[in-house]
Chain A
Amino acid sequence: MATEEGGGNAVKLVLAWLFVGIPLAWGVWNTLMNALLLFK
């Protein structure tokens, strides 16, 4: 049975992705800055 995929609540989607994306991006940035020491 194929049903319609929900369009979803755009605000909810953005908030959910920001909720996990911001800490992850912060962590990746930190690690990247430390990793640059390999090339100095």
Chain B
Amino acid sequence: MAMLAFLDKSHTIAKPGYSRWLIPPAALCVHLCIGQAYAFSVFNLPMTKLLGITTWAPGDWKLTQLGWIFSLAIFFLGASAALFGRWVEEGGPRRAMFTAALCWSGGFLVSAFGVSIHNLWVIYLGYGVLGGFGLGIGYISPVSTLIKWFPDRPGMATGMAIMGFGGGAFIASPLSVWLMGKFSGPAHIGVAETFLVLGLVYFCFMMVGAAIVRLPPPGWQPAGWTPPVQPKKLVTSNDVYVYKALKTPQFWLIWWVLCLNVTAGIGVLGQASAMSQEMFHGRISAVAAAGFVGLMSLFNMGGRFAWASLSDWIGRKNTYFCFFVIGAVLYALVPQMGELRSVAGFVLCFLVIISMYGGGFSTVPAYLKDMFGTRYVGAIHGLLLTAWSMAGIFGPVLVNYIRQYNVEHGVPKADAYNTTMYIMAFLLVIGFVCNWLVKAVDRRHHMAAQERAEAVA
């Protein structure tokens, strides 16, 4: 019971002397762990050889079957963020982080069992469903807390946490390879043991975050900071109830803004290695392509912090205008870079594009806070993440199927991506229009003073 009381929102209120700069590391404890999802592919090949050990054997799983593990996890990320957003908001960050830790590490432990009995359905249930819940709840758990502690720099604060989600793969990927090497032998591949260790390590790491996270006392403000007397046109000091936000055009416009920005980035992120080798056949080797993918991951992570921090200065709407204008121009330039055989130009285009893909994720919580207030921003953010799930389908489908169609119709492989690049540029133009249409939320959607008082109580 004492443990459960420790999770209560009332036990999470910061005492005098607590520094708000402890909140970003608390958030990073969670996001660095769940960011492992981006590195799950390191397990794909070893998991196709669990029986055959050195090569695929009858009874071993196929890559197509294993691909569903990641897809399920991302699907349940969006679904759980949407379903549990309000629960996370009302129960406080510690309970949410603890639940996320249980689900995420539980997903690994169940999957370890699935690998040991060689049952793929158990892994779907473990990493895909249970782990997916951990991803969704963990992703949104620190967002509104960060915004409440950093009303003066909400973009930078959420950027730091969401940067962790991009950076988690950097740690997980080499760590997983190292662990598998330690646990593997001539007649055994150590995937189950690696899952077991990762599950336990991630649980401990995430619990550190849950232990140090705190909510600011009611009415707290940073020393020396006062809310602007005349707030900006697109920044509200009112709150909108989570389900009322769904009835506003602003929610759906921002939903499309995120969906289109992510669609443009996610497709090329997954195909970067193959695309670079096909567009620059003979000039970019498989090893160099792997380096390109690594560089893109770094810009994906860095962009999350840099663009979200910049949005505190130039505003969220202008930041998204940058994404859409610069992104559309760069996508349109990619085929020219291919024609000119300019590897440097090609790499530069995609590094900027991918930084804006990451920036889209980290800027959106602050955008929502500006439009709907801080009270339910975490829950509204959770609902908005369904745009990510949709983009996760649109993006790769656009890139893969159009390329396939082109190749089958005689287009040289080096030019097979050109149509997709122009389509991506067009999608970003639509995103620009959606962003342009975003105006301040109508007053009738704001919570009345009494509702706000009841919500706080």
0/1 string, B202-241, CB within 8 A of A gives 1? 0000001000100001011111011000000000000000
Query: Nearest chain-B residue to A17 (Cβ)?
Result: B25
Residues of chain B within 8 A of A13, CB atoms compared: 19, 21-22
Residues of chain B within 8 A of A39, CB atoms compared: 291
Query: Nearest chain-A residue to B20 (Cβ)?
Result: A5
0/1 string, A2-25, CB within 8 A of B gives 1? 111111110011001101100110
Query: Nearest chain-B residue to A39 (Cβ)?
Result: B291
Contact indicator B25/A20 (Cβ below 8 Å): yes
Number of A residues with CB within 8 Å of any CB on chain B: 30
Residues of chain B within 8 A of A5, CB atoms compared: 19-20, 222-223
Interface check B183, CB cutoff 8 A: no
Given contacts A6-B14, A16-B212, A19-B208, contact A28 B21 (CB under 8 A): no
Contact indicator A32/B298 (Cβ below 8 Å): yes
Contact indicator A7/B19 (Cβ below 8 Å): yes
Give the residues from 286 to 310 in chain B that come closer than 8 angstroms, CB to CB, to chain A: 287-292, 294-295, 297-298, 301
Contact indicator B19/A6 (Cβ below 8 Å): yes
Number of B residues with CB within 8 Å of any CB on chain A: 43
Interface check B17, CB cutoff 8 A: yes
- Chain B nearest CB from A32 CB (Å) reads 7
The CB with the most chain A CB atoms within 10 A, among B17, B171, B289, B292, is that of: B171
User: Which positions in A face B, CB cutoff 8 Å?
Assistant: 1-9, 12-13, 16-17, 19-20, 23-24, 26-28, 30-32, 34-40
Residues of chain A within 8 A of B20, CB atoms compared: 5-6
Contact indicator A27/B174 (Cβ below 8 Å): yes
Interface check B167, CB cutoff 8 A: yes
Give the residues from 171 to 192 in chain B that come closer than 8 angstroms, CB to CB, to chain A: 171, 173-174
Contact indicator A38/B223 (Cβ below 8 Å): no
Sample of 20 A–B contacts (CB below 8 Å): A3-B217, A5-B20, A6-B18, A7-B17, A9-B19, A12-B19, A16-B25, A19-B29, A19-B208, A20-B28, A24-B32, A24-B167, A27-B173, A27-B174, A28-B301, A32-B298, A34-B291, A35-B295, A39-B291, A40-B288
Say what secondary structure dominates the interface of chain A: helix
Q: A20-B25, A28-B167, A38-B284 are in contact. List 8 more A-B contacts (CB 8 A).
A: A3-B219, A16-B26, A20-B28, A24-B32, A24-B167, A28-B298, A35-B291, A39-B291
Residues of chain B within 8 A of A1, CB atoms compared: 219-221
Interface check B58, CB cutoff 8 A: no
Roughly how many angstroms separate A40 CA and B290 CA in the complex, as a whole number? 12
Interface check B16, CB cutoff 8 A: yes
- Chain A nearest CB from B130 CB (Å) reads 24
Give the residues from 1 to 42 in chain B that come closer than 8 angstroms, CB to CB, to chain A: 14, 16-22, 25-26, 28-29, 32
Roughly how many angstroms separate A9 CA and B225 CA in the complex, as a whole number? 22
Interface check B75, CB cutoff 8 A: no
Interface check B170, CB cutoff 8 A: yes
- Chain B nearest CB from A12 CB (Å) reads 7
Roughly how many angstroms separate A20 CA and B169 CA in the complex, as a whole number? 14
Contact indicator A8/B295 (Cβ below 8 Å): no
Contact indicator B291/A36 (Cβ below 8 Å): yes
Contact indicator B19/A24 (Cβ below 8 Å): no
Contact indicator B287/A8 (Cβ below 8 Å): no
Roughly how many angstroms separate A30 CA and B219 CA in the complex, as a whole number? 43
